[in-house]
Every structure is written in C-alpha cells, then in structure tokens.
Structure 1
C-alpha cells in the first residue's frame, strides 16, 4: 500500500486538473451555444412537422410537413406555408427613424409584407364550385378511385367539324352565307334564346341586317352582332357543327378583337361581347368564358351603362332603359356563375352591383332568370354571410315561379349550389324541405330531356343532370336513390345526342361515382351479414316476435310519460323498422 500511494495521488491530481479545465471551458462557452447544445441533447429522436401548411391549419387536419404534404396531395389542395420571420432585437433597438424612412428599407418591408394567398382560391373553390364537391364526394366513397378535380358537364362541349380541314381565313359576313340564311338563323335565335336572354331588339336587328347587305364592301362593328346571332342560331338548330357556324364564330371574334376602343364602348360592341360570352358558355372551356365575361364587365363599366344614374355615353347614343338593364343583368349572370365555378374573382363595380329588374314582356322570361341574381350574389365567398340563412334562402328559391325550361334549369342550378353549401357546412334541412327539393330536381330532369329533344343545348342541359346525380348520392335516401335511374338516363341522353369529349367524360365520371357508391354498399352489406352470421338463431327469434298491439303501445307510451329520461324518445321512430332512411344533411324532424 505504501508503494502504490504516490501513483494514486498523482492520478487523482491529474483528474482534478482535467475537471477544472472542463469547468473553465464551460464558463467560457457563450450562453446561446450552451442552450443549443442542451436543446440538441433533449430533442426527441422522432421527426415531426414543426410547421403545418396553411390548408391543413384551416381545416384542422394532420400535416406531415412535406412540400406538398400528403393531406393536400390526397385532397388536391394547393399546399403552401406561411413564412414567419422574427425581427432581431438588436435591429429593433438600433434602427433609427431616418433608417426606417429610407426608400430601400420601405421597399424591402413592403416586399416581405405582401405574400401570396393561394388559400383564398381554395376557399372560393370549395364555397360554390361543383368541381370541389364532386372531388370530395369521390374521396369520401373511395379515396383511391375518386375522380380528379374537374368541372364535369360544364356544358355540352366544343363544336367540331368531322373534317378538320378548315381554312383559317376570315371572310366578310356577306361571303359566308346568304341574307335569307342569316335571317332564318336569326329567327331561331329570337325564338329560342331571346326569351331567356332578351337584350336585343328584334325589329332593329332585322332592319340593320337588311341595310348591311346593301353595302357588302364596307365592314362594320355590327358584323359581330350579326355573326354572334347567326352562330347561336346554328347551335340551336343543328346538332352538329357546320362550316357556316365555324366561319361566323371566327368572324365575330376577329371583329371584336380588332376593334380599336378610343372612347366609351358602344352598344354594338357590348352586344357583340355579350353574344360571344353566351356562345362560349355553351361550347367552350370555363377559363375562356371567364376571360370573355370579365372583359364584358369591364367594358360595361367603361360605357357607363352601370350604374344607370352616371352614364358617360355620348348624347347621340340612345339606349332603351329596359334593354340596358337586360344587357347588364345577363352580363352579371354570366360572370358571376363562371367565377363561382372556377373559384376565381368576379368583376364587381364600386356602386351597387344589381341594376333595376327588367320589365316583364309576353313570351319573355328574362326577368325570371335575372330575378335569381340577388340570391346568387349573396353566395359570393367574399361577402360575409351567415351560413344558417342558407335554408331560408333555399325556401325562397323553391317558392319562386319559373315558367320555361331554361328558367327552371337556372333555378335548379342555384338550388344545387345551395345544397352543396349546406352539405359542406354540415347543416340540416327538414324532410319536408328535402321532398320539395327532390320534386324540383325531378322537374329539372324533365326539362333537360325536353330541351335536348327540342335542340336547345343550354349549358344547364349537361350541368344540372350531372350535379343532380351527385346530390342524390349525397342525400342517400330511398326517395333520392330512386331518382338515380332517371338522372342517369337523362345524362346518357345528353351524351348520346351531343357526342363530344366533354359529355363522354361527364357520363363516365357519373358512372364511376355510382359504381363506387354501389361497391361501398356491397361492402357494408357483407360486414353486416358477417356480424349476423353467428347469431342466426337469435335473429330468427327476433323476427318471429309479433308486432306490438295497441294496448302494448299505449302501455309503452304511459311508461315513457312516467320516466322523465325517456320523454324525448319518439316511439313511432323507435318501433319503425325503416329507420335508416335519414340523409346526411336532412334533420330527422320535419
């Protein structure tokens, strides 16, 4: 022991020196590095998202922090993150007013303050667009096979010739067809389209049409009106596109695009753009229609036709006040619903958006269609609206009187939009109100069939039947599902009559949704059958029991009256075997 003591003492002294060195080095370490080391030592080994994306935070869903995250990828949302920057305390303390007032610092602060807001598009799209509703419906049934985000059945589709060898030249109106042919096409327009969109004076049109053929070598802006009327006449008289229709559409577009605007737009220019927007809404893509309708709204604002009390039109231009209101109302109607379907912003004016309602005329129902504008504008996502008022708005719409198929289809389209909004907000409607809705939708299917047979391909002919199928699947009751065969036959009729890629795609998507719903029902039946397979004896015993008699029923009622905890029980509903016929957003109480 004596021999080992010096060596042990030396080792202890060296260890004490090492400990003092480590302690001194720890005291010299900056506090921030020590905190960082402690946080790294205490950090959990498992990874988790420190910052959730904006769509997941708004919907209170789990986010894995990916770019894009799995939730947004699955639902088809635009995934993005809000960048939160912390200002340094040192910068805040040392920044002087002179430094903050410099242009460089102001520009930098403005650049960092303005951030894109893709979430606004998602919110607007989910509010009124049928595309988001169909996508959610498919994801709810089967996330793996759900259809992509698309505006199925937005219209009948593009009109194309069987032979695509059409010259791209633009011919004058007098060389495209004869005066008699244009007059016949115009008569089709005034018989089928003008009663719904009555913003052109028929007598004045035919007078200018005759004058145009007297000066064939002088092109005029009114050629866009003549060509627009003729193209719509072709659309509503022939199921397949013709070379005349193609040249008329090309002439109308070229005339409008080539017009140089040097002052307030004229009535001829506004009428030509309105006809172009109407034709695009029935045959072209949603974005092309939205651009045309937005252009029309800006031209209306520049013309001074709206607001009516502050017109800046030249004194020589005389406009019938009733036609003026009809023109402005149809432009609003087209722009509002195209914007809703795409989830994009609509063009609104600084003054009151709505013009005065047009005067009713015999055989004209434009006032019925434009009478739906106040309810349509109330659904604008940019406006603050209590969602609890939706059932009351739905009742007012169902109480409206619509005398013609196009007007009834416009009513159905607005009702379907409110139903989608009610479903997205998890609101309830009474069973009586649901029956009224189904009655209107059944009427809409009949109107679509008659319009197809009459060769009046309004855009609602394809749009309304498709979304009726989606709403019937969401209602999921026996009364709603019993309407599915007729709805599918109606959509099949439209797709077979107008055999376009758009209609084939819409019909395929509807069949997919019905098949997915059927498969889910089969899976549910299999699960229920498996649950009862081991209880066959008990099941037979329950089914063999007699129905309660009147005396037993009265005895049960007295028992419920004596027990306060059971006073809320509905015996009729409890004893009724058909208790599954309750839709997802229909309340049990009438």
Structure 2
C-alpha cells in the first residue's frame, strides 16, 4: 500500500504576544495576532523582535507572515493602524469598559455597552392613550410654558447659552396670540419646555412627553427649501441636548450630526463655503455659542460610539464666546480644542498626554456641570494613558484623584438639585473604572464614595439604564477584588469566608446586558465598605505612585 504523505507540521510563532501567553492560547505572531483580533484583546509584545545583521542565519518560515516594508515618508499609514485602534478604544467608554473586563476575567467580560451614558429614558407610569401630536398651544397653558422656560434659563442656559432670553419670551407671547399659525419656532418652544420639565420633575409627565413629540414632529416635517433658519438650528440643538440626557447614543449621534450639517448649510460657521448666501441673522456671540455647543455634542457622542464626527471643509473652531455674569458656557466650550485634539484620526504625539492632562487640571471651572465636563475630558486622557502603558508623576496622579473626588461631589449636588446632566451618570461610572485601573491605595480608598454616588443616581432616577450601570459597576469591583480577597481572606476566620463562598456563576449568568439587572438586589447586599477600606496587598502602581 502506498504510504500517505504526511501533513506538514504547523509552525509555531517564535514569539507569542503577552495576552496569548497569559491565557495560554495559540498565537500566530502577527501584530495584532489572529487570536487577539478575534477575542478583542489588546495585542502587544513584551519585547520587539530584533533583526539579524546576518541574513544567512535566518531560515525562511513559509507559514509566517511576510515582512511588511513600510514606504518612507508620512504616507506610511500601516504602522499607525494599531495606534489608531488604541486611540479609538480609549476615547470610547464602552470599549474601555470591555477591555477592563477582559483584563480582569475574559470569560465574564461585558459586551460593548455604554453603561451610564445618561440617566436613561423618561417613562410614564401610565402611557398616554394616543400618540397624537398636538399643537404647541394645546399642550399646556402659556403660564406653564413660561414657568418651564424660566427653569431652562436658570439651569441649562448658563451652560449651553445660545438662546436670546428676552427675544424668546417676546416671541413666546406672540405665538400664543396667534394660535392658528404654526411655525418652526414651535420646535424651540417645545424643546425649551421639555428640558424645563426634565430639570424640574424627577419623573416624566404627560406634558413632557407631548412637548417632546411636538418638537420632533415639527423638526422632522419641516421642508427645507434654502439655508436653514436660526429657529431650525436652535430646535435641532435643543433636541440634541434632550436626547443626550435621556435617549440612546445612536439617536443622539444622528441628531447631533444633522445639526452639524445644518450649521454648514446655513453658512454660520466662518469656514463654511456654501454657494447659497446665508440668510440667518444672529448675534455673533450667540453664533459662536451655537456652533460650539453643536461641536461639543457631536464630538463626544462620536467618541463614545467610535463613529465619525461631522467636520467642516476647514475644521477651525469659532472664537470662544464672550464671558457673561452667571454664565459658564465659555468654560465648557474652552475644553473643545483639547477634545478635538483627541480625535482618533489625528496623529497627536501621545507623549504630550501628561502635559495636556496637567493643563486641564490647571483650568478654572466654577460650576458643577463645567467641572463634570472637565472630569469627562480628564477621564478620556487617563484612558489614553492607560492604553499606551504610559506613566504620570505621583504629583499629577494626586491632582487627578483630587479632581475626580470633586467630580463625585458635583454629581451628588446635581442629583439633589434636580439637574440631570448626562455627566451625572456617565462620570461617576467611569471614575469607578479608572480607579480600578489606577489600582493604588489612594484610588481604591475612593471606591466607596464613587459607588455610593452612582447608587444615589440610580436610586433617584430609577431607570433600567441606571440599574444596569450600577450592576455593572458592582460586578467590576467584585471581580477586581477577587484575587486580593482570596489571599487576604485565607488567613481570616471561617465565618468571614461565608460571604464569598458562593459558587462561581457560569458565563451565561454574567450577561451584562440583561441578567445583571435582575441580580442588582443581591449585589446591593454585599458590604462593599467591608473590603474596599481594608488594607490592600502591594500591587504594582500604574501611575508612578508608590504603593
């Protein structure tokens, strides 16, 4: 019988990447390798391969990938592809949380989900019988709309101040004097009223639901026959703000992208080059504020989702708005240049991250929403630093923790004041994630306050979104502490072990998008203070801080 030819033996990679070595998985030696690509790991090697000076000492490996010769000059885009992915993942809170879970326990890591992106959708205890859209003058009285508008200009306008207050109230009175003449300005009235409801009522009302429907219907059915009017732009801006605080990321991204395209079509931005002459007449300072707020919303929603942001032909920002008494819009929009510099597509020198971080910490932010915007940007830079395996000085790390602690206090005050900006949920959740990554005694000592803050938001705004975020945060903390607890508790009394002696759940039981919500009462019963304040074993510091 003729002998069968033997199958060629599989060539093993000469150097496996660090994630594959730790998990004892097969590695093909690529950059990134196939296993890391399929499982979503961050592929990296402890040491770079050295090229031999004697080419005759190297035998060809037919199974290995051919060497990639990079063309000279700035057109070589391949070497930066992994850097682009890292920057994209660092900007996206969802990707960062997943990678954090993979590092702790790959079998129980969360799927991509923007936990705590906002407080969640506003639901009525009893839905209206019909989904009809009513004219703005039939939803509620003029006095009620005026009261809601006063709340808007008291709580929201100081941070996103792009409306002219006196002009708004004058036109509001005129609208009620002509109830049979609907106009695109109705979207502005409805948007202001809906945000006034959001910032005055912890639970949704029928009035708020109808205002949201009217604003959406007015904007969606408006026929655009030329450059958009300022009322249309303001209406879309108000809708984007409301969605950012209550709706899904993709809905917000679509609305903010639409707003950016309308701004370009209007010719308001100095660098827009429309063939149609602009017909919008607006105060230059309000113009800069509107363009800045639109950029702010679109940039950060795009970062969170890992999607493209809308940019103009020349992506220059307008001049900063003029400061006003009692107004901190300039503080918030002053962060926009740094935000744009973090765009994943830009080849920013990553060694400048520590310098940028220091400048951000030096910034003056006077009010809680502005402080939370500062915290959000600092958290993004910290994620960048972590993905690049960089260090910061102990002094800078102390300043970071001080700001994050200040942010937790701002979140608590915002909840008590019924000002549910999106950061009130987003920032505390990601503070918890970053504290786990820093992994030092000072950072871990802040975890109880961070968890209590997130729990306060979840109990105040009892939505599925907040329950899910709190459950995910609890489990991340528990998974992070399991190795330390196992060693520390091995010397404790047997009765103390009973708390942690439950069987390890299966992978199905760690469904981060569903089952954890039902498991929230069980997680709440865990006494976090009992082990979060305990003396931790020595761990390698991440940010140059001595343990």
Indicate whether the TM-score tops 0.5: yes
Equivalent residues of 2:27, 2:35 under 8 A apart: no
- Gap change, CA 1:233 and 1:332, over 3 Å in 2: same
1:222 correspondence with 2:180: no
Give the gaps of 5 or more residues in structure 1: 1-36, 78-83, 85-117, 530-576
Tell me the CA shift for residue 582 of structure 1.
Answer: 5.2
Which residue is equivalent to 1:471? Answer: 434
Which residue is equivalent to 2:419? Answer: 456
Which residue is equivalent to 1:584? Answer: 542
Q: Which structure 2 residues correspond to residues 464-503 of structure 1 after superposition, within 5 A?
A: 464-503=427-466
Equivalent residues of 2:266, 2:280 under 8 A apart: no
Tell me the CA shift for residue 502 of structure 1.
Answer: 0.3
Residue in structure 2 matching 1:415, options 378, 385, 394? 378
Tell me the CA shift for residue 518 of structure 1.
Answer: 1.7
Equivalent residues of 1:231, 1:249 under 8 A apart: yes
User: CA-to-partner distance for each residue in 1:191-237, whole Å, 9 max, x for gaps?
Assistant: 00000000000000000000000110111000000000000000000
Give the gaps of 5 or more residues in structure 2: 43-64, 66-80, 493-534
2:363 & 2:423 partners in 1: Cα distance? Answer: 18
Residue in structure 1 matching 2:305, options 315, 321, 342? 342
2:375 & 2:279 partners in 1: Cα distance? Answer: 42
Which residue is equivalent to 2:69? Answer: none
- Gap change, CA 1:526 and 1:579, over 3 Å in 2: closer
- Range with greater deviation from structure 2 (143-152 or 248-257): 143-152
Tell me the CA shift for residue 585 of structure 1.
Answer: 3.1
- Gap change, CA 1:76 and 1:217, over 3 Å in 2: farther
Tell me the CA shift for residue 46 of structure 1.
Answer: 4.6
- Gap change, CA 1:63 and 1:169, over 3 Å in 2: farther
2:187 is paired with a residue whose SS is helix
**TM-score normalised by length of structure 1:** 0.73
Tell me the CA shift for residue 587 of structure 1.
Answer: 5.5
Is the radius of gyration larger for structure 1 or structure 2? Answer: 1
Equivalent residues of 1:121, 1:343 under 8 A apart: no
1:292 & 1:316 partners in 2: Cα distance? Answer: 23
Tell me the CA shift for residue 520 of structure 1.
Answer: 1.7
Tell me the CA shift for residue 588 of structure 1.
Answer: 5.4
- Gap change, CA 1:120 and 1:150, over 3 Å in 2: farther
2:107 is paired with a residue whose SS is coil
Tell me the CA shift for residue 74 of structure 1.
Answer: 3.2
Equivalent residues of 2:257, 2:310 under 8 A apart: yes
User: CA-to-partner distance for each residue in 1:326-358, whole Å, 9 max, x for gaps?
Assistant: 000000000000000000010011113311100
1:344 is paired with a residue whose SS is coil
Which residue is equivalent to 2:317? Answer: 354
User: CA-to-partner distance for each residue in 1:337-381, whole Å, 9 max, x for gaps?
Assistant: 000000001001111331110000000000000000010001001
Which residue is equivalent to 2:159? Answer: 196
1:278 correspondence with 2:235: no
- Range with greater deviation from structure 2 (473-482 or 150-159): 473-482
2:86 & 2:302 partners in 1: Cα distance? Answer: 13
Which residue is equivalent to 2:254? Answer: 291
Equivalent residues of 1:63, 1:71 under 8 A apart: no
Which residue is equivalent to 2:528? Answer: none
Q: Which structure 2 residues correspond to residues 178-257 of structure 1 after superposition, within 5 A?
A: 178-257=141-220
- Range with greater deviation from structure 2 (412-421 or 142-151): 142-151
Tell me the CA shift for residue 249 of structure 1.
Answer: 0.4
Equivalent residues of 1:131, 1:152 under 8 A apart: yes
Which residue is equivalent to 2:39? Answer: 74
- Gap change, CA 1:480 and 1:578, over 3 Å in 2: closer
2:272 & 2:97 partners in 1: Cα distance? Answer: 43
1:366 & 1:137 partners in 2: Cα distance? Answer: 34
Tell me the CA shift for residue 525 of structure 1.
Answer: 3.9
1:144 is paired with a residue whose SS is helix
User: CA-to-partner distance for each residue in 1:386-443, whole Å, 9 max, x for gaps?
Assistant: 1100000000000000000000000000000000100000000011100000000000
- Gap change, CA 1:119 and 1:168, over 3 Å in 2: farther
Number of residues of Structure 1 aligned to a counterpart in Structure 2 = 460
Which residue is equivalent to 1:307? Answer: 270
User: CA-to-partner distance for each residue in 1:273-323, whole Å, 9 max, x for gaps?
Assistant: 000000000000000000110111011111111126868775764210000
1:168 correspondence with 2:135: no
1:415 & 1:509 partners in 2: Cα distance? Answer: 22
2:357 & 2:130 partners in 1: Cα distance? Answer: 50
Which residue is equivalent to 2:59? Answer: none
Equivalent residues of 1:125, 1:341 under 8 A apart: no
Equivalent residues of 1:152, 1:466 under 8 A apart: yes
2:305 & 2:210 partners in 1: Cα distance? Answer: 29
- Gap change, CA 1:41 and 1:376, over 3 Å in 2: same
Which residue is equivalent to 2:27? Answer: 62
Which residue is equivalent to 2:522? Answer: none
1:180 & 1:48 partners in 2: Cα distance? Answer: 76
1:499 & 1:270 partners in 2: Cα distance? Answer: 33
Which residue is equivalent to 1:259? Answer: 222
1:405 correspondence with 2:382: no
Instruction: Flag the structure with higher helix content.
Output: 1
Q: Which structure 2 residues correspond to residues 92-111 of structure 1 after superposition, within 5 A?
A: none
Tell me the CA shift for residue 463 of structure 1.
Answer: 0.3
Equivalent residues of 2:84, 2:344 under 8 A apart: no
1:44 correspondence with 2:15: no
Tell me the CA shift for residue 71 of structure 1.
Answer: 3.8
2:425 & 2:370 partners in 1: Cα distance? Answer: 15
Which residue is equivalent to 1:111? Answer: none
Equivalent residues of 1:449, 1:493 under 8 A apart: yes
CA-atom RMSD in angstroms: 3.2
2:276 & 2:140 partners in 1: Cα distance? Answer: 34
Which residue is equivalent to 1:512? Answer: 475
2:254 is paired with a residue whose SS is helix
- Gap change, CA 1:411 and 1:315, over 3 Å in 2: closer
Which residue is equivalent to 1:562? Answer: none
